[in-house]
Amino acid sequence: MDKKRYYVSVQAGTILAGQGDAAYEFEIDATEEDVERLQRQFVQLADRSEATMFRAHALTIPYHHDAENHAYDDNLVDIYRMLHELGTVETKRHIEKMGVLTASR
For residues 44 and 60, the answer to whether their CB atoms sit within 8 Å is no
pLDDT digits (tens, 9 = 90+) for 63-73: 555 667 778 88
In tens, the pLDDT along 25-50 reads 999 999 999 999 999 999 999 877 76
Q: How far, in Å, are 10, 52, 56, 64, 76 from residue 60 at the CA level?
A: 30, 14, 9, 12, 24
Distances in whole angstroms, Cα of residue 83 to Cα of each of 32, 51, 62, 67, 88: 14, 24, 30, 24, 9
